[in-house]
Amino acid sequence: MVEGIIIQGLIKGGTYALLAVGFSLIFGVARMINLSHTCFYMLAAYGIYAFAKMLGMPLIAAAVLSLLATTIIGILTYRLFIDRVREHHVTVMLITLALAMVFQEWMIISFTSEPLGAPSFISGYWEIIGVKVSYQHLLTFGVALAVLICVWALLSKTRLGVAIRATAQDSEIANLMGINVRRILLVTMGMAAVLAAVAGIVVAPTLTLEPRMWTSPLVMIMAIVVLGGLGSVKGSFIGAFIIGFVEVLVVFLMPGGAFLKGAFALLVMVIILLVRPEGLFGIAFEEERL
Amino acid sequence: MLRRLLKDFQGDVLAIPGRLLALIFFVILFFIPLFLQGSSGSYYLRIFIFANMYVIFAVSWDLLSGYTGQLNFGHALFFGVAAYTTALLNLHLDWQPWLTIPLGALAGVIAGLVVCLPALRLRGPYLALVTLAFPLILLGIVFAFTDFTGGELGISGLDRISNSRTTDYYISVAVMIVSVMIMWKLTDARSSLVRTGIVFHAIREDEIAARASGINTIRYKLLAFAVAGFFAGIAGAFHAHFMRIAGPSNLELTLSFQVIIWTVFGGITSIYGPVVGVYILFPLMELLRVVPEVRNLIFAGIVVAMLLFMPEGIAVWVRDKIERECPRCKLSNMAFRKTCRACDTPLYERAVD
């Protein structure tokens, strides 16, 4: 029981971390809440199903293609729709929501709303402290950690990372220092899309694919980024594991837990915003509070 | 007395094209049932009744988020709380609709005050996230305690409002017009009767400046949430009695976003904007039922195009075409006049020869 909770929590946390870091990155740099973020996760998962099962490609090729396609879609949506209205919070939230609906309908039209299953990368399982963990779950966790370490290295060790962090701190000053802010925003959006797509690809085999699969993780990552502090990458990483464990605990220990897990995560979010609005590691945006 | 009223009517309604259109619209609403007879007419009347309820709902969102600037992304909470309260009171205590609908609206007020507690400390995207969370939390509770709330199926078998659809329609029109008029008056910044309008504008534009000017902003924010909760609650309770069911769809995210889309489509921060938005988009969605596969896709496409190319909203766009504000005395004039009707100032700058 306890072992099961720990291992399930780590795996859940890993996936949420991938999604939440991208969401938090784009909020930190562009100050916009992208409600279509988890749609890229859905697109990548459906992409792997389409390439591997419908077209019969080898899995690795399907994964790479799906990742590329999702990233291109992510950058295009930013360039065509979001970029023009990014100064206005409400408009950004509305337009990304409308785009999420477009993606959902697109998936319903192309794949019907029947639940589908994607093929597994590797089969079999491994017994850790008496709990059977499938290799697919271990792969999910491993890939999540590897990708997040890459993101951390990129943000802290490269010139591009410095530029992204500078833009997040103050985009006007960054612009005066010769950073092309529009390009940085585009790159950040691309990175967020890549992170979401990686999450979608590794998780796809363990889930059933359906066109509404973007809503439940969206609610979860909103709670996570608020818990960790909006715009803080480290915060969303740690927050993802906390919320992941909370979710698993609620599902394991409470009757009707599957329905209440979202409610619990959101309750955590509301309490955090009331008690400590900057989150665990967030930067306090003085001008955005009273 | 009567002559003065007539004169006011001439000056304040007939001379302003937007208000003239609103008057014509209200008059048409009263004659609609005459043209819709038989079973298909009954179906169309049903659409109009829904539209009337959603108008109240959308206008209450506009009052809260458009005027007062408290961005609410979970407006369905008020609608759903009122619907469930009404349903429980009607089924278990067997109270009549004329009693349960106001009580449902009161439940909406209480929900509004509860949501207001975090709203006093937060703003912008943070407030949007918190308000988004409340209906979802409640939805989780609804699904977890199915024997009390009915879960997925909801609570059904409520009393009808009246026995005929036409009566239902006239009640809904009356409630809609009265509610919209009250909210219009409450948000009217130039009103000499109430000062809420100008205070709401001030809170939206700069809350700290409003507070520095000696306005108790907390009291006015509470008022805005309570009023929005009340009218959204009326809409929700009426909806529950008309549909004879209160279910989880009354709390869902879709409804919260629908109301924002209607309002932004019609024109945010203008009471007539949401009215126009609902009366265009809601029947359009019903018409699109003939192509069910692409219905939502078309809807989302319209929203995206609207936000990109006409961000001020369709009603405001039209108003700017047919009305012209006098640059000196700020009185609205018909767009084709050359000089202001009150002070004779030229409305348009003369082209330099």
| Arithmetic mean of pLDDT, B112-139 | 82
Q: Do B141 and A219 touch (CB under 8 A)?
A: no
Contacts of residue B142, defined as CB under 8 A and 6 or more positions apart, other chains included, come to: B84, B149, B151, B248, B251
Q: What is the pLDDT of residues A26-35, one digit of tens each?
A: 888 888 888 8
Q: How many domains does chain B have?
A: 1
Q: Is the ipTM of this complex over 0.85?
A: no
Confidence band of A283 (pLDDT split at 50, 70, 90)? low
Nearest partner of A89 among B309, B276, B307, B210, judged by Cα: B307
Highest mean pLDDT out of A65-74, A79-88, A105-114, B203-212 = A65-74
Residues of A within 8 A of B128 (CB-CB) are 33, 89-90, 93
> What is the interface size between A and B, counted as CB pairs within 8 Å?
131
Test mutation, A26, A33, A214, A216, chain B, max B CBs within 10 A: A33
Q: What is the pLDDT of residues B12-49, one digit of tens each?
A: 777 777 778 888 888 888 888 777 777 777 888 888 88
Give the position of tokens 């590794």. A202
Does B350 touch chain A if contact means CB atoms closer than 8 Å?
A: no
| Three-state secondary-structure class, residue B69 | coil
Checking if the pLDDT of B350 tops 80, the result is: no
| Arithmetic mean of pLDDT, B221-227 | 91
Highest mean pLDDT out of A81-85, A278-282, B224-228 = B224-228
**CA pair distance B6, B342, nearest whole angstrom:** 18
pLDDT at residue A257 in the model: 66
Does residue B90 form part of some domain? yes
pLDDT at residue B352 in the model: 54
| φ, ψ at B122 (rounded to 5°) | -120, 160
Checking if the pLDDT of A72 tops 90, the result is: yes
**CA pair distance B103, B237, nearest whole angstrom:** 9
The residue of chain B nearest to residue A270, with distances taken between CA atoms, is B130
The residue of chain B nearest to residue A91, with distances taken between CA atoms, is B307
A176 touches A5 (CB < 8 A): no
Give the position of tokens 């785009």. A99
Tokens of A244: 């992941």
Does residue B59 form part of some domain? yes
Does residue B258 form part of some domain? no
Does B335 touch chain A if contact means CB atoms closer than 8 Å?
A: no
Tokens of A157: 């060790």
pLDDT at residue B255 in the model: 86
Does residue B225 form part of some domain? yes
* Residue ranges of domains in chain A, CATH in brackets: 2-275 (1.10.3470)
**CA pair distance B319, A252, nearest whole angstrom:** 57
| φ, ψ at B333 (rounded to 5°) | -130, 160
| DSSP string over chain A | -HHHHHHHHHHHHHHHHHHHHHHHHHHHHH----TTHHHHHHHHHHHHHIIIIIS---HHHHHHHHHHHHHHHHHHHIIIIIGGGTT-HHHHHHHHHHHHHHHHHHHHHHH-SS-EEPPPSS--EEEETTEEEEHHHHHHHHHHHHHHHHHHHHHHHSHHHHHHHHHHH-HHHHHHTT--HHHHHHHHHHHHHHHHHHHHHHHGGGSEE-TTTTHHHHHHHHHHHHHH-TT-HHHHHHHHHHHHHHHHHHHHHSTTHHHHHHHHHHHHHHHHHHH-TTTTTPPP-GGGB-
Checking if the pLDDT of B303 tops 80, the result is: yes
Q: Using DSSP bridges, classify how beta strands B155-156 and B245-246 pair: parallel, antiparallel or unpaired.
A: antiparallel
* Chain A residues near any Cβ of chain B (below 8 Å): 31, 33, 81, 84-85, 88-91, 93-95, 97-99, 101-102, 104-106, 108-109, 215, 219, 222-223, 226, 230, 256, 259-264, 266-267, 269-270, 273-274, 277, 288-290
Confidence band of A290 (pLDDT split at 50, 70, 90)? very low
Q: Do B126 and A230 touch (CB under 8 A)?
A: yes
Q: Do B300 and A256 touch (CB under 8 A)?
A: no
Q: B312: which strand partners? A: none
Confidence band of A286 (pLDDT split at 50, 70, 90)? very low
* A251 vs A231: which has the higher pLDDT: A251
Strands (E), B31-184: 155-156
Does residue B321 form part of some domain? no
Residues of B within 8 A of A89 (CB-CB) are 71, 124-125, 128
Checking if the pLDDT of A289 tops 60, the result is: no
Cα B319 → chain centroid: 18
User: What is the sign, positive or negative, of the torsion defined by CA atoms of B46, B51, B52, B54?
Assistant: positive
A145 touches A18 (CB < 8 A): no
Residues of A within 8 A of B296 (CB-CB) are 101, 104-105
Of A1-10, B64-73, B96-105, minimum mean pLDDT range: A1-10
Other Cβ atoms less than 10 A from the Cβ of B52: the count is: 29
| φ, ψ at A133 (rounded to 5°) | -120, 125
Residue A40, judged by CB atoms within 10 A of its CB (0-12, 13-18, 19+), counts as: buried
B253 touches B131 (CB < 8 A): no
Residues of B within 8 A of A85 (CB-CB) are 307-308, 311
To the nearest whole number, what is the mean pLDDT of chain A?
83
Checking if the pLDDT of A287 tops 60, the result is: no
* B114 vs B10: which has the higher pLDDT: B114
Residues of A within 8 A of B117 (CB-CB) are 274
Give the position of tokens 């290295």. A153
Which amino acid does the sequence have at B335?
A: A
Contacts of residue A97, defined as CB under 8 A and 6 or more positions apart, other chains included, come to: A35, A36, B257
Does residue B189 form part of some domain? yes
Which amino acid does the sequence have at B238?
A: F
Q: How far is A79 from chain B (nearest CA, A)?
A: 13
**CA pair distance B238, B232, nearest whole angstrom:** 10
Q: Which of B118, B129, B301 sits opposite A274 (nearest CB)?
A: B118
- What interhelical angle do A181-203 and A2-30 show, nearest 10? 160
Q: A131: which strand partners? A: A128
Which residues constitute the domain of residue B104?
43-251
pTM: 0.84
Q: Which of A102, A104, A109 sits opposite B301 (nearest CB)?
A: A102
Residues of A within 8 A of B285 (CB-CB) are none
| Three-state secondary-structure class, residue B37 | coil
Of A7-11, A87-91, A94-98, A256-260, minimum mean pLDDT range: A256-260
CB < 8 Å from A in window 72-91 of B: 73
Test mutation, B114, B137, B203, B216, chain A, max A CBs within 10 A: B137
Nearest partner of B117 among B215, B263, B229, B194, judged by Cα: B229
Confidence band of B118 (pLDDT split at 50, 70, 90)? confident
* A175 vs B352: which has the higher pLDDT: A175
To the nearest whole number, what is the mean pLDDT of chain B?
83
B196 touches B223 (CB < 8 A): yes
Tokens of B73: 């992304």
Q: How far is A266 from chain B (nearest CA, A)?
A: 6
B111 touches B129 (CB < 8 A): no
Q: Which of A33, A98, A263 sits opposite B125 (nearest CB)?
A: A33
| Three-state secondary-structure class, residue B193 | coil
